[in-house]
Amino acid sequence: MRVHIATDHAGMELSAHLITALAAKGYDMVDHGPKAYDAEDDYPSFCINAALAVVADQAAGVDALGIVLGGSGNGEQIAANKVKGVRAALAWNLDTAKLAREHNDANVVAVGGRQHSVEEATSLIEAFLAEPFSNAERHVRRIGKIAAYEATGEVAE
């Protein structure tokens, strides 16, 4: 599986750890930056580029997911969710990480680097990456309604 990862300055240490740890587990890691620490960096471009890459890979039939990191993960999740076709979920415990995939077929996970130890954050992300989508009819239907709104701007009943 290819995994696109992006961060801001607050998540750089976690990002570096994840790139090494997940590559050692066989994931094809693609780093969307930043490349150097800058306390004034702007995370939206990094996160949007990672999200765009996830969508492009998935459209091309590549098994791909994304990770966006920041101090809280909130802004990074918001930025990623602006990309058409992205369903980014903020994970703060193992249940939210797994349910994001199982019920919502999330293709990007957001984690706050200042909210968890490196070990906790790694376990959340590993759980997200390993969890399959359930394909349960109710979840497929709900995701379809979100996608329809995204495409048309109309709210389905």
Whole-number pLDDT of residue 157: 84
76 included as an active-site residue: yes
Query: Judging by beta carbons within 10 Å of its beta carbon (0-12, 13-18, 19+), is residue 35 exposed, middle or buried?
Result: exposed
**pLDDT per residue rounded down to tens, the chain (157 residues):** 999 999 999 999 999 999 999 999 999 999 999 998 888 889 999 999 999 999 999 999 999 999 999 999 999 999 999 999 999 999 999 999 999 999 999 999 999 999 999 999 999 999 999 999 999 999 999 999 999 999 999 998 8
Contact 76, 62 (CB under 8 A): no
Length of the chain: 157
Which of 4, 9, 32, 76 is labelled catalytic? Answer: 76
Whole-number pLDDT of residue 38: 86
Which of 13, 17, 102, 103 is labelled catalytic? Answer: 103
Q: Is the pTM of this model over 0.85?
A: yes
103 included as an active-site residue: yes
Q: What's the rounded Cα separation, in Å, for the pair 77 and 59?
A: 21
